[in-house]
Chain A
Amino acid sequence: MSATETDLAITPQERAYQISGNLEAFWKSRLDKKDPVARIGYALWVTDVEKLRQEIGKGDPKFWNYKGFSYWEFMARSTVVNLATGLNKGGFRGNFKETREKIKQVGIRVARWHIRFVQDDYKNKTGNIAGKLSLKQMADYHHLAFSEFNIPSNFYGGTWLEAIPDAAEFALYGDLYCHDCDSDEGYRGTSQ
Chain B
Amino acid sequence: MKPFLLLFPLISLSGCDQQEVAWQHWCFPAEYLSPASSIASNAGDTAFDSQLSAAPILFFPAEYVAKHVTGFRTTISMPDAGQLVQNLPVNFQPVNISAELPSDSTLESLLPGTDLLVLKAHDPYQWSVYNKKEEKLQLWGSCDLNSKEDYECFRTIQHDGVNLRYSLHRDNIKNYHEIDELIIKNLEYWRCGS
Task: Give A residues with C-beta under 8 Å from B.
Answer: 12, 15, 19, 21, 34, 36, 39, 62-65, 102, 105-106, 108-109, 112, 115-116, 119-121, 123-129, 132-140, 142-144, 147-150, 153-154, 156-159, 161
Q: Is the CB of A136 within 8 A of B52?
A: yes
Query: Closest residue to B125 on the A side, CB-wise?
Result: A15
B17 on the A face (CB < 8 A): no
Q: Which residues of A contact B94 (CB under 8 A)?
A: 126
Q: Is the CB of B36 within 8 A of A139?
A: yes
> Which residue of B42, B144, B146, B154 is within 8 Å of A135 (Cβ)?
B42
The count of residues in chain B whose C-beta lies closer than 8 Å to any C-beta of chain A is 45
Q: With A134-B51, A135-B42 as given contacts, are A140 and B57 in contact (CB-CB < 8 Å)?
A: yes
Interface centre among B36, B87, B142 (most CB of A within 10 A): B36
Q: Which residues of B contact A138 (CB under 8 A)?
A: 48
Q: Which residues of A contact B146 (CB under 8 A)?
A: 19, 112
Q: Is the CB of B49 within 8 A of A129?
A: yes
Q: Is the CB of B84 within 8 A of A128?
A: no
Cα separation A11 to B61 with both chains bound (whole Å): 32
Query: Closest residue to A156 on the B side, CB-wise?
Result: B35
Task: Give B residues with C-beta under 8 Å from A.
Answer: 34-36, 38-53, 57, 59, 80-82, 84-87, 89, 91, 93-95, 97, 125-126, 142, 144-147, 152, 154, 165, 167
Query: Closest residue to B91 on the A side, CB-wise?
Result: A140
Nearest CB of chain B from residue A47's CB, rounded to whole Å: 19
Nearest CB of chain A from residue B167's CB, rounded to whole Å: 7
Q: Is the CB of B46 within 8 A of A125?
A: no
